[in-house]
Structure 1
Amino acid sequence: MQYLHHNRNVSTPDRQQHTKIEGDQVIVNALALDITHGGDERYWHIDEESRSAELKRVSWLEVTGSIDMIHLEAEATYKLEFKIRMKPGADGWNECPVYIMVKPGKGKKFIWVKVTLNQNEGEQRIPSDVQFTTPLSTVDDKVSFALLDVWNQRYKNGIRTR
């Protein structure tokens, strides 16, 4: 099994420079992701030097991204995970499920799972058990993915990604 990790959040024109392959992992850096309200310092702090994003306060959590399938092996199975750090004082995550979603190419349906975050301080992986298999041909196709809480409407803060 191979892993597709989300490391951070933000949007830049050249996303490919923020995607790298390490062994059997494809790591997508924060600067290659789209964050709803990511450009507004009231809600998110984006640090381009450390290539990280810190959630200040939102009720609508939407972090999305995509990678070209050319970076993935054909007919291989991948698992989607997000890596985050809960900062001291993080709030709003108790009993607040988030959804991890992946769409493995054109014409495919989204695969999603609901998870509950651990509000304890420190780095953690959000395991999702969301697995997908790439098609025989990975040319001219993308894998889209998301970390979402757009239904709860509770304010949340204190997540840092890198």
Structure 2
Amino acid sequence: MSQEKISSPHWTAHTSDHEINEQNNEICISAKALNIIWGNDNRYWQWTSLPHNEINFSVGAELLQVNWIEVTGKLDFSRFKSTGEHEIVYLLKFKVDAFGWHSSPIKFKVMTSDGKETVHAEILEHYRKVSDNWHEIRGGKFMVPSGHHGAVHFGMYETESEWWKGSMILGGVKIRPTKAP
């Protein structure tokens, strides 16, 4: 009897250096460096090539359809060049046939190692109406401490409704200072 590795239906972040790039005092984290529930099941999500002239990432996660969105990430403060307030921005594109974004708000959460947490919810329908454009959707703010100890945990969620959503591409996440250095 052979023992085969059982594959999880969930995508686990690949946090190798080529997936996290620092440019213009921003930390850019590709979709492959994030955890995506159902992201390893091609009935719900697929990896798609992205044109280099559109976005800093070569591969994005295309949401085909789900009724449970949970995309999370973590970044150690030691990766940051500067201290102070930073923001997380999700890079999303909605395809022409995108659906389900009009009734269920997406929650964006940010939590730091010291237990400080911010949560806000947003209906993404107005972004969907401008299809095939990349949108920078704010995911929240947090403080990087002077000692650079700890980490920031972040995520986008819609786990409370049974409303199906689809035809959205997640390019990745940018983390940047809220004020120029």
Q: TM-score, normalised by structure 2?
A: 0.75
Could you tell me how far 1:12 is from its partner in structure 2? 4.1
Aligned to 1:125: 136
Structure possessing the higher radius of gyration over alpha carbons: 2
Q: Distance in 2 between matches of 1:101 and 1:114?
A: 9
Could you tell me how far 1:11 is from its partner in structure 2? 3.2
Report whether the alignment pairs 1:149 with 2:138: no
RMSD between aligned residues = 1.9
Q: Distance in 2 between matches of 1:153 and 1:36?
A: 15
Aligned to 1:87: 95
1:109 aligns with one of 116, 133, 136 = 116
Aligned to 2:169: 160
What are the ranges of 5 or more consecutive residues in structure 1 without an aligned counterpart?
1-9
3-state SS of the aligned residue for 1:155? coil
Q: Deviations over 1:77-125 (max 9, x none)?
A: 1011111110111000013210111112x23232111112122212212
Letter in 1 for 2:143: T
Are the structure 2 counterparts of residues 111 and 15 from structure 1 closer, same or farther at C-alpha, using a change threshold of 3 Å? farther
Could you tell me how far 1:31 is from its partner in structure 2? 1.0
Q: Distance in 1 between matches of 2:64 and 2:14?
A: 24
Could you tell me how far 1:13 is from its partner in structure 2? 3.9
Letter in 2 for 1:136: S
Aligned to 1:30: 31
8 Å Cα contact 1:98/1:116 also seen in 2: yes
Q: Distance in 1 between matches of 2:151 and 2:99?
A: 34
Aligned to 2:21: 20
Runs of 4+ in 1 over 4 A off after TM superposition: none
3-state SS of the aligned residue for 2:78? helix
Calculate percent identity across the aligned residue pairs: 23
Are the structure 2 counterparts of residues 100 and 15 from structure 1 closer, same or farther at C-alpha, using a change threshold of 3 Å? farther
Q: Distance in 2 between matches of 1:44 and 1:13?
A: 16
Q: Distance in 1 between matches of 2:93 and 2:83?
A: 32
Letter in 1 for 2:157: L
Q: Distance in 2 between matches of 1:131 and 1:44?
A: 28
